[in-house]
A and B are shown apart, each in its own frame.
Chain A
Amino acid sequence: MFAALAAFSFLGIFAKIADLKNCRPGAIYTLLFVWSCVLAVFAALVSNQPLGRTPGLVVEVALPFGVCAAVAGLAFQTGIRYGKIATSWLIINLSAAIPTLGSILIYREPVSAKKIMALCLIAGSVFLLWKDKLEDQQRAARQADRKGA
C-alpha cells in the first residue's frame, strides 16, 4: 500500500520536474507508455497471466480507455505549465467522481449519503480551485498594471 502511495506521489512530482526542465509532454508520455508496456509484458509473463489468450472484449475495452488516458496525460502535462502542481494534481484525482457517477447511472449501483456528500464536496473543491486561479490572474494583472504605471 505504501509502495502504491509512493508511486502515485512521485508520478505527480515527476510531472512538475518535467515541466521545470522544459520536457515536451508528447516525449514524456510516449516514453511513459512505452516503459509501461514493456513492464506490463514482463509482469504478465512472471505472473502467468495469458497475453496470447486475452479475450477480444478485454482488448476492445482497453484500447479506447487507453486513448482517454493519453488525452488526460497530455492535457495535464500541458496544463501545469499554466498552473500549479498542488491544485492541478488535485483536479486529476477528483476525476474519481466520473467513474462513480458512471457506476451509479449505468450499473445502477446504490447511492449512499456518503457518495452524494463526496460528489458535492468534489464540485465545491473544483469551484474553490477555479476561484484560486481567478485570484492568481487578478494578482498578476494588478502587478502588470503597477509595472506599466
Chain B
Amino acid sequence: MWLRLMLIAFVANGLGPFGLKILQERGLLEPYRLPYLLFWYLGALPLAALAFLRKPGRLSAPEVLIGGAMGCCSLGGQLATAVALESLPGHVVFAITTGGNLFIVAAAGIFLFRERVGRYGLAGIGLGIVSLLLLGTS
C-alpha cells in the first residue's frame, strides 16, 4: 500500500510544478507568479474537499491548526524561494532548500519521531540528497 501511494504521490508531485515550466517558456511566469499560484491552489481545492466530504464530520482542533500551518508553510516556502532567487543563484537556493529540507525531515523522523530506518533506508536517503544536490546544480 505504501509503495503504491508513494508512487502516485511521486508522479503527481512531479507533474504539479511542470506548469511553472510551461509559463516560463512563454514568458508569463514572472508577471503572473502569484495569480498562477492562486489558481493552482484553487485547482487543488475541489479534489481535497471531495476527499474531506467522503469522511465528513466536525473539524478537530489539530486538523484546523495543522492544516492552517501547512498552508502558511506551502505558500510561504514558494514565495520565500522566489524572493531568494532574486538575489542568489538558483543552484545555491535549490541545493540549500532541497538538500537541507530533506536532511532536516529525515533527521526529525529518526530522532524526533523515533522511526527505525534500516541500512537500505539510510543509503537511500544519502543517495537521494546527493542526487537532488546534483540536479539542483546542473
Contact = CB atoms under 8 A, between A and B. Distances in A.
Interface string A117-142: 11101101111111111011000000
Nearest to B74: A36
Contacts of A11: 70, 73-74, 77
A76 B48 CA distance: 13
27 contacts: A1-B81, A7-B80, A9-B100, A23-B67, A28-B63, A30-B45, A30-B67, A31-B68, A40-B37, A50-B35, A54-B35, A62-B36, A66-B43, A67-B44, A71-B9, A74-B47, A78-B5, A84-B121, A86-B117, A88-B9, A90-B102, A97-B135, A99-B14, A115-B134, A126-B10, A128-B124, A131-B120
Interface of B: 1-3, 5-6, 8-19, 21-23, 25-26, 28, 31-55, 57, 59-60, 62-64, 66-77, 79-81, 84, 88, 92-93, 96-98, 100-102, 104-106, 108-110, 112-113, 115-118, 120-121, 123-125, 127-128, 130-132, 134-135, 137-138
Interface of A: 1-5, 7-18, 20-21, 23-41, 43-44, 47, 49-51, 54-55, 57-59, 61-76, 78-79, 82-100, 102-103, 107, 112, 114-115, 117-119, 121-122, 124-133, 135-136
